[in-house]
């Protein structure tokens, strides 16, 4: 029986470990040909030993699938462009891009230096924008040439991007930026047959194991592992497949066996006097509106 990604060519960035590896294996299990991107760096973004991308390729091939490794830096224009070229030269086309690459440099804001800010924003936010731009340019050219396009992009945000996270100002800002980027890309690219969605996953990975060591501990033998990264991948595969036709510009949380559609910023209580407020009047109105509004969700780590 063919899988739901049968014949599709899929790029997964940051796919050497954790969520990216789980996504790559899940796509391959559903019949996709996979470009496994991983720069092979440590949690702080410093160069590490040989990239694990080749190992994931071997895993996919051992299961009867097709995959190639890509070791370029997707937060550079050339790295992102070569990622798309690798898919097209290896498999003749590109259908799905999963942006997943990232790392952490956690500090409280007063201790967060500019280098750590720039490094995290570069990898997460720029590392989403550049592959998205390169892939979209290829798909646009295909559409303009009259060839049918049913492209999918799955971006990766976080609960930190939705609510904020104490000690992760750089990461939270970058992940919030990915949400905005997704909404704009979905609106701009739909005319070319490109759907763009974003997930906010929770799982046990190298990036989370220190911050959530207790709550994300491995379960007892035989029990459901709610924090396994493989739990997130089925939704990502569906979003990256033909089966998700018509779904674009949406935000999903995924954790364990739970999937949640996040509804984002929507107008709440409002007051309009039809003229300019004085500061005192604006304050009085704001207080009344806040009393009628839903309470804000707490920032992670603030309780």
User: Which residue out of 82, 134, 175, 244 is catalytically annotated?
Assistant: 175
Question: Cβ neighbours of residue 58 under 8 Å, at least 6 residues apart?
Answer: none
> Can 158 be counted among the known catalytic residues?
yes
> Can 192 be counted among the known catalytic residues?
no
> Can 144 be counted among the known catalytic residues?
no
d(CA 243, CA 143): 20
Asked if 187 contacts 248 with a C-beta cutoff of 8 angstroms, the reply is: no
Q: Which of 18, 31, 23 is nearest to 63 (CA)?
A: 31
User: Which residue out of 171, 233, 244, 300 is catalytically annotated?
Assistant: 171
User: Which residue out of 51, 158, 165, 172 is catalytically annotated?
Assistant: 158
Edge-to-edge strand order for the sheet containing 151-156? Answer: 66-70, 33-37, 9-12, 96-98, 151-156, 194-202, 251-255, 258-262
Rg (CA), the chain: 21
State the catalytic residues.
Answer: 158, 171, 175
């Amino acid at each position: 029986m063919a899988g739901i990604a049968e014949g599709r060519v899929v790029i997964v960035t940051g796919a050497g470990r954790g969520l990216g590896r789980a996504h790559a294996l899940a796509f391959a299990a559903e019949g996709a040909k996979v470009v496994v991107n991983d720069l092979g760096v440590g949690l702080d973004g410093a160069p590490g030993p040989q990239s694990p991308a080749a190992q994931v390729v071997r895993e996919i091939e051992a299961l009867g699938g097709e995959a190639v490794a890509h070791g370029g830096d997707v937060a550079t224009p050339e790295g992102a462009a070569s990622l798309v070229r690798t898919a097209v030269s290896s498999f003749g086309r590109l259908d799905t891009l999963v942006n997943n690459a990232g790392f952490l440099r956690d500090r409280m804001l007063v201790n967060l230096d500019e280098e750590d800010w720039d490094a995290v924003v570069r990898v997460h936010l720029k590392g989403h924008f550049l592959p998205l731009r390169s892939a979209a340019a290829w798909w646009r050219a295909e559409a303009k040439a009259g060839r049918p396009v049913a492209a999918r992009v799955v971006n990766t945000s976080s609960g930190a991007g939705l609510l904020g996270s104490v000690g992760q100002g750089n990461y939270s800002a970058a992940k919030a930026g990915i949400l905005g980027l997704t909404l704009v890309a979905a609106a701009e690219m739909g005319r070319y047959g490109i759907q763009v969605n974003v997930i906010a996953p929770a799982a046990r990975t190298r990036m989370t194991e220190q911050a959530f060591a207790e709550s994300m501990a491995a379960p007892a033998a035989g029990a459901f592992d709610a924090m396994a990264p493989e739990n997130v991948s089925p939704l990502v595969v569906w979003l990256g497949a033909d089966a998700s036709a018509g779904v674009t510009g949406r935000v999903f949380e995924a954790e364990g066996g739970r999937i949640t559609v996040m509804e984002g910023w929507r107008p709440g209580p409002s007051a309009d006097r039809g003229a300019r407020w004085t500061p005192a009047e604006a304050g009085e109105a704001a207080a009344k509106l806040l009393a009628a509004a839903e309470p804000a969700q707490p920032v992670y780590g603030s309780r």
